[in-house]
Amino acid sequence: MNLLLDSNTVVWFLEGAPELSETAAGLIESLDSRSLVSSVTPWELAVKTGLGRLRLPYRLGEEFDATLESSGFELLPLSQAALARTARLPGHHRDPFDRLLVAEALEQSATLISPNEIFDDYGVKRAW
């Protein structure tokens, strides 16, 4: 099963935060799952840390990439198909990072692992 982790999910999993649901943790840790992290996730985290809305115990860039890899996550490059699909999505939500995640989940036939219920409006498979 392909899983696409949203930014909060990635951070909460890496930190062992209580905000991560047991269902999400179980899916991510399952040997039958392939956990994907969008290449837009480090960008979103960089924006949030730059605005002072988020503090991370690791630096973004190579250290973050190595942390993802050691956790068994696969960094997913943003495809042209996902970019094109983003432009065709209905206007349920204006957050550009979330819209890209929806498009990538649809393109990858992946279940989006997120507490964000707005994703349901797009018809994407979501688990939490």
Q: Which domains does the chain have, with CATH numbers?
A: 2-127 (3.40.50.1010)
What pLDDT band is residue 55 in, cutting at 50, 70 and 90? confident
| CA 20 vs CA 13, 23, 123, 127: distances in Å | 7, 8, 22, 12
pLDDT tens digits for 56-106?
877 888 888 899 999 999 999 999 999 999 999 998 888 999 999 999 999
Percent of the chain with pLDDT over 70: 100
What pLDDT band is residue 118 in, cutting at 50, 70 and 90? very high
